[in-house]
Amino acid sequence: MNSESDPDAAAAFATHDHSACMGETLVRAEAEAARRGARLTPVRRRTLEILLESHRAMGAYEMLDRLAAEGFGNQPPVAYRALEFLVENGLAHRVRRLNAFAACMHPGEVHAPVFLICRACDSVAEAPGAPVRAALDEAAAALGFTIERANIEALGLCPACAGKDAP
Amino acid sequence: MNSESDPDAAAAFATHDHSACMGETLVRAEAEAARRGARLTPVRRRTLEILLESHRAMGAYEMLDRLAAEGFGNQPPVAYRALEFLVENGLAHRVRRLNAFAACMHPGEVHAPVFLICRACDSVAEAPGAPVRAALDEAAAALGFTIERANIEALGLCPACAGKDAP
DNA sequence: GTTATTTATGTTATATCGTAACGCGTCAAG
DNA sequence: CTTGACGCGTTACGATATAACATAAATAAC
C-alpha cells in the first residue's frame, strides 16, 4: 500500500519546494472553484492563500488576525465564513482535534482526507486515505448507514520526532 | 433532537435490550478499570453510568448539570475531569464532531472506535472499525508515522432517517 | 440601463466549550 | 503522625463558535 501514486503525500513530512507546491495547489483550487461555480471572492481567496502559505493547520482566530491585518473585517464570522466556504467546496479541511483548518492538498481529486498529527512538533500531514475510506464505507454499509462526510484523524509521532523521542 | 428519553431513537441502529447491554458494559468497564489500577470513584462511576443510561453522546455541560443535580460539584472541571478520566482509561470516547462524549461499548477489548453520526436525528453509533484502523495504520506506516490515538467519525444518515429524508 | 433579487461582507452581541490555578480533604507509605 | 500523592470543589478566565441584523456588491429580470 506504500505504492501511492501521490508524490506529495509521500513527501508530506519531508522537506520540499513549498512555494511551488503552494502555487500549484492554488491553481488547482481555483480550477475546482470555477468548476463548482463557487465564487472565490477576495477574502475567501486570501484565506486559502494564507492556509497554503502557512502549510499547517490554523485556528479561526489566528486566521482572523491575519485577515484583519490586511484590511478585511476583524470579527469572528469573517474568518469562520471564509473557512466554512473553503471546507464546503473541498478547498480546505477542518481538523477537529486541533480546532483548526488546513488547506486541502488535493483539491478536485476524489480523496479521503486522513490527518496525521504529530503530538511533539504539531505538524499535520494530509495522508492519502482511500483504503481507509473504503473500509469505513464498508463498516457503515454493514449498518445501513450512509456516509456523507468523514473525519479521520490520528495523533502520534511523525518520523522526525519518533527518532528523537524513543531511542 | 429530544431523543433523550427515547432509547430506540437514541440507540445504535440495531434495536437491543438496552438495560441489559448497559449493565453488562458497566460490569466490563469496572473490570477494565480494576485491571488498569484506575480508581473508579463515585463521580467517575456516576459519570460513566449517566453516559451508559443515556446511550448517546453527551456534552460536558449537560453532564455537569446531571452531576450537579445529584450533589456533585457544579463547575465545569468536575465534568471535564471525570470525562477525561474515562477517556484516558478506555471507558468512554470523545466525539469531536459533536463536542461530546459517549460511553465505550467495548471496554477492555482492542477496538477502533468508529462513530457514525446521523445528521437528521443526531443518533450516534459506535461501529466496529478494526479494518478501518488497520487501513489507517498502514497509511500512516507508509509515511513513517506512528499512530497513538485515532478519531474516526462519519456524518451521514442512519437507516431510519435515510428512508424519510431524500429517496 | 435600471430595478429587483440574491449573495456576500461587516458588525454587534452572545452562546458554547474548555482549562489554569488554588485550597481542602482523604488516604496510604514511611 | 507526618508527608506526599491524589481527587474534588471552586474561582476565574480563555478559547471557540454562532445568531442576528445592517450594509454593500454581484447577478438576474425586465
Q: What is the pTM of this model?
A: 0.87
Q: Grade residue B93 by pLDDT with cuts at 50, 70 and 90.
A: very high
pLDDT band at B16 (very low <50, low <70, confident <90, very high): low
- One-letter amino acid identity for A30? E
pLDDT in tens, A49-105: 999 999 899 999 999 999 999 999 999 999 999 999 999 999 999 999 999 999 999
Which chain A residues are within 8 Å of B146, Cβ to Cβ? 156-157, 162
pLDDT of residue B111: 79
Rounded to whole angstroms, the Cα distance separating A155 from A53 reads 23
Residues B102/B113, Cβ–Cβ less than 8 Å: no
Answer yes or no: are the C-beta atoms of A48 and A29 closer than 8 Å: yes
First to last CA, chain B: 22
Give the closest of B142, B147, B162 to A1, CB-based.
B142
* Chain A CA closest to residue B141: A2
Q: Which residue, among B134, B135, B93, has the nearest Cα to B116 in the 3D structure? A: B93
HSE at residue B42, side-chain half, CA atoms within 13 A, is 6
pLDDT in tens, A91-139: 999 999 999 999 999 888 878 889 999 988 888 999 988 999 999 999 9
| Distance, CA of B163 to C1' of C13, in Å | 40
Of A12, A152, A155, nearest to B143 by CB-CB distance is A12
Write down all domains in chain B, each with its CATH number in brackets: 16-110 (1.10.10.10), 111-166 (3.30.1490.190)
Residue A166 has pLDDT above 70, yes or no: no
Contact A116 B143 (CB under 8 A): yes
Strand C proximity list, CB < 7 Å: A 38-39, 41-44, 72-78, 81-82, 85; B 59-61, 75-77, 80, 84, 99
| DSSP-H helix ranges across chain A | 7-10, 18-36, 42-54, 60-69, 76-88, 130-142, 159-165
A129, B118: Cβ pair inside 8 Å? no
Select from B101, B93, B4 the least CA-distant residue to B60: B101
Query: How far in angstroms lies nucleotide D12's C1' from the CA of residue A77?
Result: 27
**Does the pLDDT value for residue A4 go beyond 80?**
no
DSSP assignment of chain B: ---TT-HHHHS-SS---HHHHHHHHHHHHHHHHHHHT----HHHHHHHHHHHHHTS-B-HHHHHHHHHHTTS--SHHHHHHHHHHHHHTTSEEEEGGGTEEEE-SSTTS---EEEEEETTT--EEEEE-HHHHHHHHHHHHHTT-EEEEEEEEEEEE-HHHHHHS--
pLDDT tens track for B65-90: 999 999 999 999 999 999 999 999 99
Tell me how far apart the 2 most distant CA atoms of chain B are, in Å: 51
The CA distance from B22 to the nearest CA of chain A, in Å, is 20
Distance CA(B19)–CA(B53), nearest Å, equals: 8
